[in-house]
């Protein structure tokens, strides 16, 4: 049987030679992403700004303008509407009443429900979320804290395991991934809610997974080929792991693609973020973290210093140049 090989054997792409261009592109995209977040802002969901969210399902397609007009007559504050997946499902967002606490929020929901039922017979309400300003503030805080801790924790891990250059390059690459994702949400104005924080954390996790594989290979090759030029060594490592990189990103994109198409509208933003993250994470493994290692002045000798610092155990673990089990 002839097996599928997406990356031909002995592929040798000069990734490192292209890194100046890649850096320029990365810098440009990063600036764009930051600009988009600063300028347009994120379309924060009720999880993060507080408020009321009602999801209404109509028996047939409905014009959002008519829904908006119905709600505007109630005087419950400015509504923001979003069609969700299919034209029959509309998500209505309302500000939380400033006074009166839970009772008042209840009243708003009731009022909206009644008015909608009168105007659009057969409408059903499949979801309500109410988040007070206090809780949403905590959710934002925890969300940011989680992302920052995850990035820093992982950077520290890879610094302790390897040389400091790996820690720094991983940190920069992951920040890049997070920024790209935020930029994507700022540009598309897809709703940014708690699910998306989970998506961002998963992107961080996936991206680090990817970088670890390449970093691990670089370190292995650094021990094997101590005299090799760092640029050639990184090219070799990236090319050696390229089949795996392609295979894995494709399988994950396959899984996510089916989730995007068939997983229902609630998860759509989440899945879109994840797919973007896989692409961005794969790119940054090659062009941000690996190429940055050269700029940070990593040399094969550095690996030896670290190894001797780490003591005898690390020495024992060290693999000589082609410790060949091939000899029978």
Partner 1 sequence: MLNFSRWAIAAILLPLLIGVLCAVPSFLPDAAVAKLPGFMQTRVNLGLDLAGGSHLLLEASTQDVARQRLVNMEEQVRTELRRGDPRIAIGDISSRDGKLSFMVRDPAQVDAAVERIRPLTQGAGLTGQRDFNVEVVNSSTIVITPTDAGIDNAVKSAMEVATEVIRKRIDEMGTREPTIQQQGDNRIVVQVPGLQNPKALKDLLGQTAKLEFKLVDTTANPSEVAQGRAPVGSEVLPYPDNPSGVPVIAVKRQVMVSGEDLTDATQGYDQNNQAIVNIRFNGSGGRKFGQVTSQNVNRPFAIILDGRVLSAPNINEPILGGSAQISGNFTVESANQLAIALRSGKLPVALTVVEERTVGPGLGADSIRAGLIASIIAVVAVAAFMFVSYGRFGVYANIAVAINVLVILGVMGILGATLTLPGIAGFVLTIGTAVDANVLIYERIREERRRGRNVVQAIEHGYKEASRTIFEANVTHAIAGGIMLALGSGPVKGFAIVLLIGIATSVFTAVTFTRLLASRWVRAKRPTEITI
Q: Looking at 34, 259, 279, 296, which residue binds partner 1 (CB under 8 A)?
A: 259
Distance CA 278, CA 207 (A): 7
Q: What are the distances in angstroms from CA 18 to CA 96, 141, 175, 207, 286?
A: 52, 39, 22, 21, 11
Shortest separation between residue 21's beta carbon and partner 1, angstroms:
28
Nearer to partner 1, 26 or 241 (CB): 241
Reported as half-sphere exposure (CB side, CA atoms, 13 A), residue 154 has a value of 24
Nearer to partner 1, 46 or 62 (CB): 46
132, 264 in Cβ contact below 8 A? Answer: no
Nearer to partner 1, 2 or 39 (CB): 2
Structure tokens at 80: 């923001």
Determine, following the binding rule CB under 8 A, whether residue 153 of this chain makes contact with partner 1.
yes
Determine, following the binding rule CB under 8 A, whether residue 298 of this chain makes contact with partner 1.
no
Determine, following the binding rule CB under 8 A, whether residue 318 of this chain makes contact with partner 1.
no
Contacts (CB under 8 A) with partner 1, residues 14-33: none
Contacts (CB under 8 A) with partner 1, residues 154-193: 154, 157-158, 161
Contacts (CB under 8 A) with partner 1, residues 96-125: 101-103, 105-106, 109-110, 124-125
Distance CA 172, CA 23 (A): 12
Shortest separation between residue 28's beta carbon and partner 1, angstroms:
28
Nearer to partner 1, 95 or 263 (CB): 263
Nearer to partner 1, 134 or 227 (CB): 134
- DSSP-derived secondary structure letter, 291: H
Q: Which residues contact 252 (CB under 8 A, 6 or more apart)?
A: 206, 278
Nearer to partner 1, 36 or 203 (CB): 203
Mark residues 30-59: x for contact with partner 1 by CB under 8 A, - for none.
Answer: -------------------------x-x--
Structure tokens at 272: 């879109």
Segment contacting partner 1 (CB under 8 A): 37-45, 67-75, 147-155, 183-191?
A: 147-155
Reported as half-sphere exposure (CB side, CA atoms, 13 A), residue 138 has a value of 4
DSSP characters for 51-113? EEEEEEE-SS---HHHHHHHHHTTTS---EEEEESEEEEEEEEEPPPSSSHHHHHHHHHHHHH
Q: Looking at 18, 129, 172, 223, which residue binds partner 1 (CB under 8 A)?
A: 129
Q: How many residues does the chain have?
A: 328
Contacts (CB under 8 A) with partner 1, residues 197-256: 197-198, 201-202, 204-206, 208-210, 212-213, 216-217, 220, 240-241, 243-244, 247-248, 250-252, 254-256
Long-range contacts (CB closer than 8 Å, 24 or more residues apart) made by 263-267: 264/85, 265/84, 265/85, 265/86, 265/89, 267/195
Shortest separation between residue 71's beta carbon and partner 1, angstroms:
19
């Amino acid at each position: 049987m002839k097996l599928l090989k997406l990356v031909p054997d002995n592929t040798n792409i000069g990734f490192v030679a292209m890194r100046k261009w890649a850096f320029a592109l990365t810098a440009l995209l990063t600036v764009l992403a930051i600009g988009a977040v600063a300028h347009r802002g994120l379309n924060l969901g009720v999880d993060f700004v507080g408020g009321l969210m009602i999801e209404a399902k109509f028996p047939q397609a409905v014009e959002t303008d008519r829904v908006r007009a119905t709600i505007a007559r109630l005087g419950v504050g400015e509504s923001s509407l979003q069609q969700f997946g299919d034209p029959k499902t509309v998500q209505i967002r309302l500000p939380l009443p400033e006074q009166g606490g839970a009772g008042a929020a209840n009243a708003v929901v009731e009022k909206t429900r009644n008015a909608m039922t009168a105007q659009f017979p057969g409408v059903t309400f499949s979801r309500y979320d109410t988040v007070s300003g206090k809780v949403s503030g905590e959710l934002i805080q925890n969300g940011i804290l989680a992302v920052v801790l995850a990035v820093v924790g992982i950077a520290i891990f890879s610094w302790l395991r390897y040389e400091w250059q790996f820690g720094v390059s991983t940190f920069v690459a992951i920040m890049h991934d997070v920024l790209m994702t935020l930029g994507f949400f700022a540009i598309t104005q897809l709703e940014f809610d708690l699910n998306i924080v989970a998506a961002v954390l998963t992107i961080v996790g996936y991206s680090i997974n990817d970088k670890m594989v390449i970093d691990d290979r670089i370190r292995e090759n650094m021990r094997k080929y101590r005299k090799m030029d760092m640029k050639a060594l990184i090219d070799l490592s990236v090319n050696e792991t390229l089949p795996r990189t392609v295979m894995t990103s494709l399988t994950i994109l396959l899984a996510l693609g089916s989730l995007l198409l068939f997983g229902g509208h609630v998860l759509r933003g989440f899945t879109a973020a994840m797919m973007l993250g896989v692409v961005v994470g794969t790119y940054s493994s090659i062009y941000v973290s690996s190429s940055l290692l050269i700029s940070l002045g990593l040399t094969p000798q550095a690996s030896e210093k670290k190894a001797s610092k780490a003591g005898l155990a690390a020495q024992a673990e060290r693999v000589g140049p082609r410790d060949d089990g091939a000899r029978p």
